[in-house]
Amino acid sequence: MDRMKELVELLNRAAEEYYQKDNEIMTNREYDDLYDELLELEKKEGIILPDSPTKAVGYAVLSALSKVRHERRMLSLDKTKEMAKLKDFIGENEGVLSWKLDGLTIVLKYNGGRLIQAITRGNGEIGEDVTHNAMHFKNVPQRIAFNGSLTVRGEATISYSDFKRINEKLPEEEKYKNPRNLCSGTVRQLDSKISAGRPVNFYAFTISGGEEFYKDSKAKALDWVESLGFKHVGYKIVNKDNIEEMIQWFKKEIEGFDIPSDGLVLTYDSISYSISLGETSKFPRDSLAFKWEDEIKETILREIVWNTSRTGLINPVAVFEPVDLEGTTVNRASLHNLSIAEALMLGVGDTIKVYKANMIIPQVADNITRSNTFIVPDKCFVCGANTEIEESGGIKFLYCSNPNCGAQKIKSLTHFTSRDAMNIEGLSESTIEKFVVEGYLSNYMDIYGLKAYGDKIKAMKGFGEKSCNKLLEAVEKSKNCNLENFIYALGIRHIGLANAKLLSRHFKGDIERIINASEEEILEIDGFGGIMARSVIDYFALPENIMLLRQALQILHIEKPEGNTDSSLNDMTFVITGEVYSFKNRKELQSYIEKKGGKVSSSVTGKTSYLINNDNTSPSSKNKKAKELNIPIITEEEFIGMFRDE
């Protein structure tokens, strides 16, 4: 029973992270293995816990999008990796074998030839209305040549090539882990301008309505809906004699397939037969998902390489004896984070099992030897600074503590020039990267020496005299700045703009006091915890950081924080989470609070006066913490009624 409870909690958390937060805390293979273990335990014990993922269908919708109840439940599919089970399933029937695409399931509704609504799968019973975004999908017709009522279910996806192109343009902290997360984040945007700028495609897999055009065949239904202007998932007609051959066809196709897919779907072609079978509480009885049987091979671990990224995150990578997997030779696999490396109990010389997730991405499946002799580096291999272990959502991550680390240079410079920092227009990440390559930039103080390279910059592709002069004017203008923006620009880990403001005000605008502050003094600031305080101390403890800072103070004109004439929110600390509606955004609400003498913190503590959250029933960590500490949770409307001027 204890193991069942543990599995239910872990699987539900993994599903919530994946579906609601576009985050992954375990691989698909790990999830499937744990899910199968839970199924076996439930069969053995004859018990299914109330919140078991084997019983539930998805998670509750948590976004601010309008909620819509589905006319018909959207169930999950039972799955298998066994060919024998597929043959047994199809029996003497004819079936439709199609791609199982890895995106976001969407229901499109048409009436009178017009698209009237688009709804996400949500929790299977209640979805989110994303009609405003579906209007901008690249291949969804807004009008069709059929005037009756039509419902088209399908998968919204973003291709691997488009994912790579979009991700390359995003700042490091905004990059998506995979195409599915990017698609979900795009489709569920409140602002349709964002989704319109991203190539989301929709692939139909089943329809309801217009039955007179395709009679009793799902395959003919897909052909008919294609004639209306849709794309469908692609299929092959199969039976027990040719299904194995057709699966091999799909297996070869996926090697160059640009659309994310995590398997196949087998369903009976006959619609009437499918309806007669009914459904369980979780699965329809007419369809079965086929997950690729992973080709797993044993090899020897030769090294664990620790790669420092632009954000300071140090990722472990397993390097092993080369093996042939799914037609290619591989010798490296990401271990993703410190927790996974620890769970595998790795050590050089261990015999490990490797495979390709979805036949594409190399992964370490298991460690047979489990010597557990690997050593977590205490120094960054790029700059030699101390490393830090941080934990988020129960997952451990390793970071380089030095924001000026060479691996982080471009990211650090991009952050320094950003709007909320020094606000230097014209220095985009791509421009900074060019300047670094040319040797014009090495640290943030080099920005103020760009004038010496003026003639060379004017001659660079994409530049000219006008754009170069504009850039140099922006650099000169940035010399007049607020202390809080400068502190934020330094890129001290865990210190966002709000915390930079708190630091600045607590120490009365005196940067020397901030530089020399003790951990105890910083901990006196409401909203600051031990990790944040230590980050500040560690930053100013590095001689190279102090050297650059002294140079900056000689040329910058830093303004101290202005005193507040309105002190109605003095001694009050607020935490803001979720969407806001009356204010333009959370920054505007934060600015309003600060102008009235209040403070805005990023975390709920015993010193928090109010948590502002328009969804005060949300199971978010901030809501839970506020309830534990008896901190009042108020909506934006309640805040306005309590504190805003008439």
Angle formed by the axes of helices 409-417 and 429-438, to 10°? 130
* Separation of alpha carbons 568 and 598, rounded Å: 8
* Separation of alpha carbons 35 and 163, rounded Å: 29
**Residue 395: DSSP 8-state:** E
Known catalytic residue: 100?
yes
How many Cβ atoms from other residues are within 10 Å of residue 250's Cβ?
Answer: 19
Phi/psi region, residue 327 (left: phi>0; alpha: psi -120 to 50; beta: rest), is: left
What φ, ψ does residue 72 adopt, rounded to 5°?
A: -140, 135
- 243: its two tokens: 């299904």
* Separation of alpha carbons 230 and 108, rounded Å: 11
* Separation of alpha carbons 325 and 453, rounded Å: 50
Inter-CA distances, 583 with 405, 579, 646, Å: 38, 10, 15
Q: Are strands 633-634 and 287-290 parallel, antiparallel or unpaired?
A: unpaired
- 292: its two tokens: 């690729």
Dihedral sign, CA of 7, 13, 19, 24?
negative
Dihedral sign, CA of 541, 544, 546, 552?
negative
| 3 state SS of 502 | helix
Residue 633 near residue 597 (C-beta atoms within 8 A): no
Catalytic residue among 100, 218, 599, 622, which? 100
* 91 burial level (CB within 10 Å; 0-12, 13-18, 19+): exposed
- State the alpha helices, DSSP H only, in 170-258: 179-187, 192-196, 218-227, 243-253
536's enclosing H/E stretch is helix 530-541
* Rg from Cα positions in the chain: 28
What φ, ψ does residue 92 adopt, rounded to 5°?
A: -95, 10
Residue 594 near residue 588 (C-beta atoms within 8 A): no
- Annotated catalytic sites, by residue? 100
